[in-house]
Amino acid sequence: MTSTVRGTALLGFSEFASSRGVDPDWALAEARLPANPLPGQLSGLQFNALIELCAARANDPLFGLRFGLCQGPQGLGPLLYAMRGTANLGEALKLLTRYFHVHSDGAHVRLERQSGSALLLYDVTDGDLASVRQTVELAMGVAAHLLHDLLGHAWKPRALMLRHHAAADRGAYRALLGVLPRFDSPVNAWVFDESLLATPLGPTDARCQQLVQQHIDELARITLQELPSYVQKLLRGRLANGQVTLQQVAEYLMISPRTLQRYLLAQGTGFQELLDKTRQATAVRYLRDSSISLTQLAGLLGYSDLSAFSRAFHRWNGMSPQQWKRRLQSPDGQQK
C-alpha cells in the first residue's frame, strides 16, 4: 500500500539541493520523479528515496534535517494557514494532528501531554520504506521551524527524541537544533513545556479560517480504498503502547469490529494481515536504524516476550532476528 506525499513537500528543493552540491534535476530523475513535482501527489517511496539519494550524493548525513530546517512549514500549504488562524498553539497542533494525512498519508502526527510536558510525535507509517532516518529528521526540522514561527522566542524545547542512532557527530545536531537529541528513543518527538500550548497566536480572519477549514475537510475524506493504509497508520502509532486489537481500532473508527473486518476483506486484506505486515516492516526498520535490544523491540511491537517475536520474525524472513542483524552487518550481506 504505497503512500503519497503532496508535491508541495518539495518546495525549495531545487535551490537547497544546489546549495549542497547536488544537481536537483539529476536527483529527481534518479528518483523517477517529475522535473516539476510541486503540482501533484508524489509516491512516498520515491520521496524517501530522493532525500536518501541526496544525502549520499552530498556526503551529508544531515541533509534531511538541514532541508527541513531550511524549508520550514511552507510545504503544508492550506493546513499551515488554518493553523495560523487558531486561537493558541494547542489548537494549532490539534489541527495539525487531525489533518496531517492530507499532506502525507504515509506518516502520523500526534500530540500528547505527560507530567507537565507536551510531546509532538511523528512516525512514518508506510511499511514499504526500509530506512526512514532522513525523512524523519526532515520532518523534525520542519516541526522545529514551525514551532519557532508560531511561538517566536518562547520556543525553548526540553528535548528532541529520535528512534534511530546518530548519523553524524552529535555536536553537529546541537549546532543545528540548539539541543542534543536523545537517540535510540522509543518515539520521535519534540518535547516542550506543556504551558506553551496556551500561548495565543494573535488575531484571526474568521471568514478566511472557515474557507480554509472547508478546503481541508474536503481533502480529508477517507475512501474505502484508503482504509487499509489508514488502519496500518493507526497500528504503527499504537503498537508501542502494547498489543493492539481489532476491537480497539474499530472503536477508534466508531464502527463495529465485524464491519471493519468486512471493509478490509472487501479490499483484499484483513486486520491480522495488516498487523503482521506492520510489525514486519517496523522490525526491519528498527534493526536497520536503531541499536535498541531485541527484547525492547519485541515490546515495542506488542509481543509478550522475545521468543514470540523471534518466531514471527523467522516466519517472515526465514531466519532469526539475530541472524538477520549479523548478515546486515557483514560486508557482503546487505539486506534487500
Domain limits of the chain? 64-198, 224-329
Distant-in-sequence, close-in-space partners of 197: CB < 8 Å, separation ≥ 6? 88, 89, 90, 93, 113, 118
Q: Are 194 and 157 in contact (CB under 8 A)?
A: no
DSSP three-state, residue 29: helix
Sign, CA dihedral 173-174-177-181, equals positive
Quick: pLDDT tens for 282-316: 888 888 888 888 998 888 888 888 999 999 999 99
| 3-state percent breakdown (helix, strand, coil) of the chain, nearest 5 | 60, 10, 30
pLDDT over threshold 80, residue 205: no
Share of the chain above pLDDT 90, in %: 51
Q: For residue 21, give the DSSP letter.
A: T
User: What confidence score (pLDDT) does residue 41 get?
Assistant: 78
Q: Which three cell numbers stand for residue 287?
A: 534493526
Mean pLDDT for all residues in the chain: 87
Would you call 66 exposed, middle or buried from its count of C-beta atoms within 10 A (0-12, 13-18, 19+)?
buried
> Region 119-125: what's the mean pLDDT?
94
> Region 125-153: what's the mean pLDDT?
92
Distant-in-sequence, close-in-space partners of 202: CB < 8 Å, separation ≥ 6? none
Q: For residue 165, give the DSSP letter.
A: P
Distant-in-sequence, close-in-space partners of 281: CB < 8 Å, separation ≥ 6? 127, 128, 129
pLDDT over threshold 80, residue 171: yes
Q: Are 2 and 127 in contact (CB under 8 A)?
A: no
Quick: pLDDT tens for 95-108: 899 888 878 888 99
Would you call 209 exposed, middle or buried from its count of C-beta atoms within 10 A (0-12, 13-18, 19+)?
middle
Residue 336: which pLDDT band, with cuts at 50, 70 and 90?
Answer: very low
Q: Is CATH 3.90.1520.10 the right assignment for the domain spanning 224-329?
A: no
Q: Are 218 and 101 in contact (CB under 8 A)?
A: no
Q: For the chain, list the strands marked E by DSSP.
A: 4-6, 41-43, 107-114, 117-124, 159-161, 189-193
* Phi, psi for residue 229 in degrees, rounded to 5: -70, -30
H/E element, 288: helix 271-289
Which range, of 15-29, 53-67, 127-141, averages the lowest pLDDT? Answer: 127-141
What Å distances lie between residue 281 and 128, 278, 311, CA to CA? 7, 5, 15
What Å distances lie between residue 47 and 9, 28, 64, 167, 180, CA to CA? 9, 9, 11, 20, 27
Task: Tell me how far the alpha carbon of residue 189 is from its chain's centroid.
Answer: 10
H/E element, 148: helix 133-151
Alpha carbons 133 and 305: distance in angstroms, whole number:
27
> Region 167-184: what's the mean pLDDT?
93
User: What confidence score (pLDDT) does residue 227 get?
Assistant: 81
> Region 208-228: what's the mean pLDDT?
61
| Alpha helices (runs of H) in 39-127, residue ranges in sequence order | 44-57, 63-71, 78-84, 89-103
